[in-house]
Amino acid sequence: MTYCMSDIHGDYEMYRRMLEKIRLRDEDALYILGDVVDRGPEPIAVLQDMMARPNVRPLLGNHEYMAARCLRFLTKQITEESVAELSADRLMDLFHWQNEGGAPTIEGFRRLDPEGRQAVLEYLMEFELYEELEAGGEKYVLVHAGPDHFSADRPLWDYEIHELIWTRLDYSKVYYHDRFLVTGHTPVAAIPGNEHPDAIFRANRHIAIDCGCIPYGCLGAICLDTGEEFYVKRTIQAHCRD
């Protein structure tokens, strides 16, 4: 079976409960559509669990993009040069990431030993930008935010990173008539006219799966082969910072 979830945002507890709920087996594949890190309390714990599971396939979110850029130069700068020598561009990257909830990711990363840090950095480099697959007789495109500057005859490999991880899709519009577009990034509660703000959004050949796990929503997952949806509701309030 092929499962998708997205926008875990450091909520290790909800993530673990979802894995138990879907009963992920070795022969299944679980695609995680980005934004694993930032905001919630334990982003590094989620990453380390994913790393240990070969059947978890990570896709890049804008938060992993920011984290990878900043953690790489932070590690290098701290060991080789003075932080005071950071360039203005890098300070802006760091400032931007902090504003987007990067603090728990930095703190978790700092607690790792050098090998642990290296493993996390290498894992972030493995995140794919999109995935195209078939399941249950249907075709799917999986991507964190969606194709910006969209054209139906433009192949996915032609899009720049920024066109796939930052955009806000128009969920009232059909993008691909012959396949479903599975996305995170835009919380379902933020989709205009959506009458079910706590459930996976399925209309117009979209499957939007970010149910706003952090800070108030739930974590959703979907099995593409069967269409079955899974939800984990929050039992304790996450300590969320952004």
Name the site residues for Mn ion (rule: CB under 5 A).
35, 61-62, 185
Residue 162's CB is within 10 A of a number of other CB atoms, namely 12
Q: How far is the CB of 219 from Mn ion (least distance, A)?
A: 15
**Least spacing, CB of residue 9 vs Mn ion, in Å:** 9
Question: What is the token pair recorded at 43?
Answer: 């982003």
Q: In angstroms, what is the minimal distance from the CB of 73 to Mn ion?
A: 21
What is the 3-state secondary structure of 185-210?
Answer: CCCHHHCCCCCCCCCCEEECCEEECC
What span, in angstroms and rounded, lies between the C-alpha atoms of 117 and 109? 6
Paired residues of 140 in beta bridges: 133, 180
Cβ proximity to Mn ion, 60 vs 238, nearer residue? 60
d(CA 107, CA 219): 24
With respect to Mn ion, which residue has the nearer C-beta, 62 or 105? Answer: 62
Q: Which residue is nearest to Mn ion (CB)?
A: 185
Nearer to Mn ion, 41 or 101 (CB): 101
CB of 60 to Mn ion, least distance (A): 10
What is the nearest approach in angstroms of Mn ion to the Cβ of residue 85? 31
> Among candidates 52, 44, 59, which has minimal Cα distance to 26?
52
Which lies closer to Mn ion via its Cβ, residue 36 or residue 232?
A: 36
Tell me the residue type at 150. Answer: F
Question: Quick one: 35 or 131, whose CB is closer to Mn ion?
Answer: 35
Q: In what order do the strands lie in the sheet with 138-143?
A: 130-135, 138-143, 180-183, 206-208, 201-203
